[in-house]
């Protein structure tokens, strides 16, 4: 269940802090300064918004409508009615609800069964109710699971130069707005919002091991659901145990091995943070040196681009269903901790990232991109001087790329390449029929992402004279020891960011979006592959 007091108490008890020696203010400066330039397709209707916008934009739009018109934008949810029969009941968006099994439903003369929900809260009450004890990973928040509903509340409705169809140079502009600087009363301009978080990988590992330790203790309460948890406990791969080399008698049982591994990992972290030599490991235990050094030596500045709706299937025919409320994409900048620690003593903007990692659809597709960021040719100045840093957002799917153009999503030859590179020919009988099916699908269904330089763009320092430039704000999740999201001063942000449930829900085939956990572990895997 959602339990914000327990989340805050756990953070306090374990000296939460993931950014040392950077302060929260330095992280904010760093995140705003190094935000990549965001380039959107001209036909993109949904642009990154703050989590709070998922509620505020709905309320603002509904408040503009007369009551009879507002009624059609209520969300119909099937619930248990009198006699246990499924009844469709309209609710004010957004609606927060839990699954409630199935109930009989009559369609004409045919009786069937339908999924039903239990309403937790609706309308303006939904945001506060996200801290309700009933809210867990099964919960849903929905403003109406269709493009029509999403476009009514969040989608672009105006083109830069007018007209009905977006074309290069005349893009859809973001729906979210803010007061125009120096403008007349009521004058607004479009805006976008990006979520950012800086973390030292070693500190993340420590905290997640502590969380795992709490979960494994039968005498303690499990760590409550928390969408900010990274599942970064890499202990099993990082510290391996070989029972044949372990003289402990009787042999350790599985739970004892896990317990010992956590104990050893925490002792290694303590020694590293104290600047001491790593303690010797007992017989039977081996540390993966490369992974350890990568974790010790690097920090991530993670950017999350949150969208109200993924309308990928409006762009093309997709092999797999890919349309849903809520979408979390983004990218990550990789920094050397040593360089960051030096920059923290002066102007933090002098720190220079060594690479950028993108987020492209699901991790299993292995499509995330890694690209080194060259140092500026001219010396001096701040870190970003002379550095071009651009990402391109695919229309509809919002996958993040490093170049404009067309990007293939299905390539059956990749599967054969993986088999060949990894000597997995024993799997050929399985891979062959799958590859044939994928080849046929690829021939008839050209599943691609499209990125463009001709839409709106955001980022740091966009001049007011740029007609396609959009004001872009960075909302930083504070994670320093002195100021962090669990410290009681950021409860509004914690309420939304820690929400463990799903963003969006549907009774039909339209997909749903799971919670938005940080992609730290995913980015680390890509980093390890490229160092």
What is the per-residue DSSP string for 47-78? ----TTHHHHHHHHHHHHS-HHHHGGGSEEEE
Of 486, 491, 515, nearest to 503 (Cα)? 515
> Alpha-carbon distance 149 to 466, whole Å?
31
> Alpha-carbon distance 388 to 374, whole Å?
9
Look at residue 416 and tell me whether its pLDDT is greater than 50: no
> Alpha-carbon distance 158 to 147, whole Å?
16
| pLDDT > 90 in the chain, percent | 68
Domain ranges in the chain are 199-220+228-293
Look at residue 71 and tell me whether its pLDDT is greater than 70: yes
Look at residue 365 and tell me whether its pLDDT is greater than 70: yes
Beta strands in 145-249 (DSSP E): 177-179, 188-200, 239-241
Mean pLDDT in residue range 422-447: 55
pLDDT value of position 384: 82
Mean pLDDT in residue range 300-328: 84
Mean residue pLDDT of the chain comes to 88
Cross-strand pairs, 107: 110
Look at residue 172 and tell me whether its pLDDT is greater than 90: yes
pLDDT value of position 411: 46
Look at residue 276 and tell me whether its pLDDT is greater than 70: yes
- Residue partners of 367: CB distance under 8 A and separation at least 6: 360, 361, 399, 409
How would residue 54 be classed by pLDDT, with cut points 50, 70 and 90?
Answer: very high
> Using one digit for the tens of pLDDT, what is the confidence trace for 514-526?
778 899 999 999 9
Among the listed ranges 7-16, 180-189, 339-348, 430-439, which one has the minimum average pLDDT value? 430-439
Look at residue 366 and tell me whether its pLDDT is greater than 90: no
Beta strands in 167-297 (DSSP E): 177-179, 188-200, 239-241, 285-287
How would residue 509 be classed by pLDDT, with cut points 50, 70 and 90?
Answer: low
> Alpha-carbon distance 499 to 228, whole Å?
8
Local structure of 296: helix, strand or coil: helix
Look at residue 364 and tell me whether its pLDDT is greater than 70: yes
Look at residue 485 and tell me whether its pLDDT is greater than 80: yes
pLDDT value of position 321: 61
Look at residue 332 and tell me whether its pLDDT is greater than 70: yes
Contact 149, 75 (CB under 8 A): yes
Look at residue 170 and tell me whether its pLDDT is greater than 80: yes
pLDDT value of position 420: 44
> Using one digit for the tens of pLDDT, what is the confidence trace for 248-264?
999 999 999 999 999 99
């Amino acid at each position: 269940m959602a339990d914000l007091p327990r989340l805050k108490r756990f953070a306090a008890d374990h000296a939460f802090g993931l950014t040392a020696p950077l302060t929260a203010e330095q992280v904010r400066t760093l995140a705003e300064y190094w935000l990549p330039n965001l380039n959107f397709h001209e036909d993109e209707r949904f642009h990154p918004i703050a989590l709070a916008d998922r509620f505020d934009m709905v309320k603002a739009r509904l408040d503009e409508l007369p009551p009879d018109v507002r009624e059609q934008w209520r969300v119909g949810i099937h619930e248990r009615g009198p006699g246990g029969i499924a009844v469709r009941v309209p609710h004010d968006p957004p609606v927060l609800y839990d699954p409630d099994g199935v109930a009989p439903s009559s369609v004409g003369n045919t009786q069937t069964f339908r999924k039903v929900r239990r309403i937790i809260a609706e309308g303006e009450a939904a945001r506060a109710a996200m801290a309700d004890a009933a809210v867990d990973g099964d919960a849903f928040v929905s403003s109406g699971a269709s493009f029509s509903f999403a476009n009514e509340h969040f989608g672009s409705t105006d083109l830069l130069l007018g007209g009905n169809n977006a074309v290069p140079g005349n893009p859809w502009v973001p729906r979210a707005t803010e007061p125009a600087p120096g403008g007349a009363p009521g004058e607004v301009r479009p805006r976008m919002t990006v979520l950012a978080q800086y973390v030292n990988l070693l500190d993340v590992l420590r905290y997640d091991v502590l969380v795992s330790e709490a979960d494994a203790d039968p005498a303690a309460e499990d760590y409550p659901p928390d969408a900010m948890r990274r599942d970064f406990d890499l202990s099993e791969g990082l510290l391996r145990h070989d029972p044949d080399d372990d003289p402990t008698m009787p042999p350790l049982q599985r739970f004892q091995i896990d317990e010992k591994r956590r104990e050893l990992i925490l002792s290694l972290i303590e020694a590293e943070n104290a600047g001491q030599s790593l303690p010797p490991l007992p017989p039977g235990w081996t540390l993966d040196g490369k992974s350890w050094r990568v974790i010790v030596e690097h920090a991530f500045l993670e950017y999350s681009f949150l969208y109200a709706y993924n309308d990928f299937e409006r762009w093309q025919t997709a092999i797999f269903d890919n349309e849903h409320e809520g979408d979390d994409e983004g990218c990550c900048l990789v920094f050397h901790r040593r360089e960051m620690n030096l920059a923290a003593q002066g102007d933090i903007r002098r720190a220079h990232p060594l690479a950028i990692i993108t987020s492209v659809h699901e991790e299993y597709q292995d499509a995330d991109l890694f690209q080194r960021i060259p140092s500026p040719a001219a010396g001096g100045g701040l870190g970003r001087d002379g550095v071009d840093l651009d990402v391109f957002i695919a229309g509809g799917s919002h996958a993040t790329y490093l170049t404009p153009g067309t990007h293939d999503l299905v390539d059956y030859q990749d599967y054969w390449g993986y088999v060949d590179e990894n000597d997995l020919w024993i799997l050929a009988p399985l891979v062959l029929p799958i590859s044939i099916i994928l080849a046929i699908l690829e021939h008839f269904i050209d599943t691609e992402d499209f990125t463009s330089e001709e839409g709106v763009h955001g980022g740091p320092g966009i001049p007011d004279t740029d007609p396609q430039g959009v004001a872009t704000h960075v909302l930083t999740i504070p994670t320093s020891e002195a100021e962090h999201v669990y410290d009681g001063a950021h409860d509004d942000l914690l309420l939304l960011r820690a929400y463990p449930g799903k963003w969006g829900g549907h009774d039909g085939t339209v997909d749903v979006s799971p919670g938005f956990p940080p992609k730290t572990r995913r980015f680390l895997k890509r980093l390890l592959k490229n160092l």
